[in-house]
Structures are given as structure tokens and as C-alpha cells.
Amino acid sequence: MLPALWLVVTLVFLLSRALPATFGSEKILQQSKGYYASGSTSARESAYKDYLSRTGLQLPLFYFGISTASEPDTLYRVSPETDRKLLQQLAWQFSNWPAISVYYQSIKSLQQHLPEQEQFLVAPLFAATDKTAILAVTGKLDQIKGASDASALITNVQQSANRLYQHEAKYSFLVPAIQWHGADNQYHQWLSELMKGKLGTSYRDSKPVIEKVAEAVGTSFWLLILSMLAAFLISFNTSILLVQRQETKLQKFILSGLYFLDSIPLFVLCLLLLVLLASPDFLQLFPAYGLGYYENQNQNWLEGMMQQLPYLALPILCLTIAYIPYLTNILYRALADNSQTDYARTARAKGLSEQKVIRKHLVRNALLPVITLLSDFLPALVAGSVVIETIFAIPGIGRLLLESVQARDYPVIVTIVLLVAAFKMLSHLLADIWYGIADPRIRYNAR
């Protein structure tokens, strides 16, 4: 369990860093909106560098990296990501890193010297990566060269752009290069903190990740558990009814209904129930969204649960309906296969009713595929809760995961996946134990 859990979380940690942009670049470097929008470009960049230093994102990702021979081993230090991408593309295009570095510094100096209303003239240079595009942009700078006090900087940009094409080492980007970063990297710091029981702080609000996740889990727990219990009980009794009424019109009607339910996408089912059961135009039986929080320090968990139950009714109904067809099919097939065995015929020959044959003999022998199913059922419910909690505006673990991915809040993303993966491993361990309880023949100490 532990090696598998470590491997899963490590892959998620590395893949989460592959998301384009970061929370800092989305919120700090934007000029159009946000808290830092009114500041100058240099002020935003300074705040962004402080953010990278505080979160450790200025460090390399892993112990080693694989790049091309045309890239320097310190490219990860360049921020923001847009500038890093520009330098990478220039390195692949021209493979002349000294000239590329001088050119990059020259356009950065020109951008910082120009006033805000004239910086749009330099902005295209941060997207131009081939000779034709660079020459087209630098040629337009001659129009403001005489009227601007930055004529020396403009000349420096034009001269450094011309040096890019000298001493090109074509196709050097095809040569791989392995770079060793040592223990001073993001993964090592994260793993060291994890071993100490520290999961970090959220990038969005600087709250401890464990507090945010614990609050979200408390909401999702009842949603998932009640949905699982309701779906299992309904599916269990429905599958027994199908076995009892084989080759009848009732069985065909139920199977057709289950097939129809299984063909409805989850988000469509949510919207249909919202329109039918939470709209004043039809039946407004349940609240449409949220959990209806009330400030009451003296209420216990049971009172809080009863207060939230009307808000959870529709989400629980959606998850229950969505998973009933799949559960019923597995249970029905397991019971139907066991109903044709010799011990089932013997029980019927003894005069037992079909109800007793199913519940006392078939159920236990049909539990093995059911146990396998249930070990994967709750993690599957977590995936479904992302859609449910987003549509119904429930502050649960699924919605927190979606918001964290959108905000590139890496500590929260990795912690949620760690929690789900740990529960999945635990569910498989419990499934092995339940196998031995259901069928003593497969116990480890069986002879």
C-alpha cells in the first residue's frame, strides 16, 4: 500500500506542476484586474518574485531534469512563465544562449524604461520567436526612436536582435541534456514536510491545507455515505426482485428503466431534478443550492446534520439515481449466476421458498463480486461529487478540488488526491479482509 500510495501522489505532484501558469501569475501579474492591477510592471514583478520565494516555486521541480543542449541549466530561475517560455523557444530556434540572454535583457530594460502607455510597443517582442517576426517588430521601433528618450535602449535592442542570427548551432535542440539539481528542489521540500505531517498552506488564502480539506471532507462525508447506502439498499432489493421475477413483464420493465437511467449524463440528471423539484414553476420541494449555514455555536453535529439534510436531499438523490443501474446490474448478474448452481436447486428441493433461497444461500455466495465493486465505489463517488457539488454549490471536497485546479493551488490539489488515494488503498485492504469473511476457503490460513 505505502509504495503504491507514494507513487500515485508523486505522479500527481509532478503532473500538477505541468498545469499552465500559476496562481501568482494569474492574480499578481494581470494588468487588467486584481489587487495588483493598479501597480506598475516592476511592482507586480517584484510581488510575483516574493510569491515564488515564499511558496518555493522558484526552485527546480525534481532532483534532475531532462532538457536539450541548447537550454541553460538555470532556465527554471526565469520568471514569469511567459518569459521562460520565450527564452526556451529562442534557445531552440537560435541555440546561441549568450546572444539570447543579452537580447532578453535589452527588451526587459526597454520595457521598464518606457511609460505604461507605450509598453505595448515592446510587448510583441515577448511573443516573437523567429527571425522574421523579431525584425518586423524591432523595425517599427525606429518610428519612436527620435521622439523618445529611450533611443539608446532601442538601438541596443536592434543590435542584440541582429546578433541572434550569428553563430547559430542548428539542431542542437535535438541533443538531450540531463541536469542534476540536488536536494534543493520543490519535490524534496514537499516530501520532507509531508514526513513531518505538514501539508503546507493554500496559495489562495494562506490557510493551512489540512483545515481547508477537513472542512470540505466534513460536508462531503454525509453526501457520499448516504448516497452509497441508499444506492446499495435500493440496488440490493431490486436485484433480488429481478431474480425472483425472471422472464416476466415486471423484470423487462425494470431493466428498461435502469437502462434509461444509465443513459442520462450526471449533469443532465442534476439539472432535470433542479427544474422539477427545486423550481417554483414546478415543485419547489427542496432548496436549489448551498447548505444554508446558520451561526449557532451551541448546536451539536446531529442538529447541524438535520439542518443541512434538506439541502443535501437533491444531491444525494442525484448520486443515488446515477449509480443504481450499475450496482443493480452487478448484483443481479451475481445472484442470477448463483441461482443456477446445485446448492440452490437442493435448497429449493427441500421446500424452501425462493425468498429464503436467495437471502440465506445465494446472497453470501454472490458477495465476492459485490465486495470488489464496493471497494471501488466510494472513490468513484468522489469523482461524481465534483459535478454534484459544483452544480449545487456545495462546499465539499469535489468542489474544493475543482476550484484548486482552476486556481493552480498545488498544495490543496496534492492533499486531496493523497486523501482519495489513501482511502482507495484502505478500501482494497478491507476488501481482502471481507473476502475471507465471505468465503473462508480463500483465507490466507486456509488449508
User: pLDDT of 147-171, one tens digit each?
Assistant: 667 788 888 988 898 888 776 666 7
Its pTM stands at 0.76
Fold of 209-442: MetI-like fold (1.10.3720)
Q: By percentage, how much of the chain surpasses pLDDT 70?
A: 86
Per-residue pLDDT band for 347 (boundaries 50, 70, 90) equals confident
Judged against a pLDDT cut of 70, whether residue 5 lies above it is answered with yes
Judged against a pLDDT cut of 70, whether residue 64 lies above it is answered with yes
> Where are the domains positioned within the chain?
15-191, 209-442
- 397 vs 291, which has greater pLDDT? 397
pLDDT score of 106: 92
pLDDT score of 168: 67
Judged against a pLDDT cut of 80, whether residue 21 lies above it is answered with no
Give mean pLDDT, residues 403-412.
Answer: 86
pLDDT score of 105: 92
Mean pLDDT estimate for the chain: 81
Judged against a pLDDT cut of 70, whether residue 78 lies above it is answered with yes
Judged against a pLDDT cut of 70, whether residue 444 lies above it is answered with no
Which residue in 182, 210, 207, 180 sits closest to 194, CA to CA?
Answer: 210
Per-residue pLDDT tens digits for 28-58? 766 555 555 556 667 777 778 888 888 888 8
CB 81 within 8 A of CB 25: yes
pLDDT score of 442: 66
